Amino acid sequence: MKGSKHELGRVVIARLKYDSELVRSITELARERGIKNATFTVIGAVKRAKLGYYDQKRHEYRSFSLETPHELVSCIGNISLKEGETFAHLHGVFADEEGNTKAGHVIEATVFAAELYLQELVGPELVRKYDEITGLSLWEI
Ligand code: ZN
């Protein structure tokens, strides 16, 4: 396993706007503050969400939607660079009114309320490059 050494940078605490799109909001927040690498968590609630599951044989994402309000029980993610642009990668666990959960790669979600804790990482830029074996854009470390 290869790794790279980073130092902790700024911490950003934010409340994401009602009706905003979760992935875009985090991406824009990082871009506006010049944050190229970070790790973050989000908790809150969403009005709806579209999640992905990566089919490892077909090398493509399958998606499914949550069309009702859900708790955003746990969302973790990171910020890095993909094709020179700020890129946010999020995974989340969502619970319905009975506590049943659905989880996956977050493609998009409409925020009802969301609290973000973002930790900037300072050091070598984490850049995503296409990986032949998985078909994914992975960190080039
Ligand atoms: Zn993912």
CATH number at residue 44: 3.30.1330.80
The answer to whether residue 6 is domain-embedded is no
pTM of the predicted structure, to 2 decimals: 0.94
What's the 11 CA to ligand 1 centre distance in angstroms? 23
- The whole-chain average pLDDT of the chain stands at 97
What's the 58 CA to ligand 1 centre distance in angstroms? 16
Print the SS3 string covering the chain: CCCCCCEEEEEEEEEECCCCEHHHHHHHHHHHCCCCCEEEEEEEEEEEEEEEEEECCCCEEEEEEECCCEEEEEEEEEEEEECCEEEEEEEEEEECCCCCEEEEEEEEEEEEEEEEEEEEEECCCCEEEECCCCCCEEECC
Q: Read off the pLDDT of residues 34-90 as tens digits, 9 standing for 90 and up.
A: 999 999 999 999 999 999 999 999 999 999 999 999 999 999 999 999 999 999 999
What's the 77 CA to ligand 1 centre distance in angstroms? 9
The answer to whether residue 2 is domain-embedded is no
pLDDT score recorded for residue 87: 98
Q: pLDDT at residue 2 above 90?
A: no
Give the structural domain span for 70. Answer: 11-139
| Domains contained in the chain, number | 1
What's the 81 CA to ligand 1 centre distance in angstroms? 15
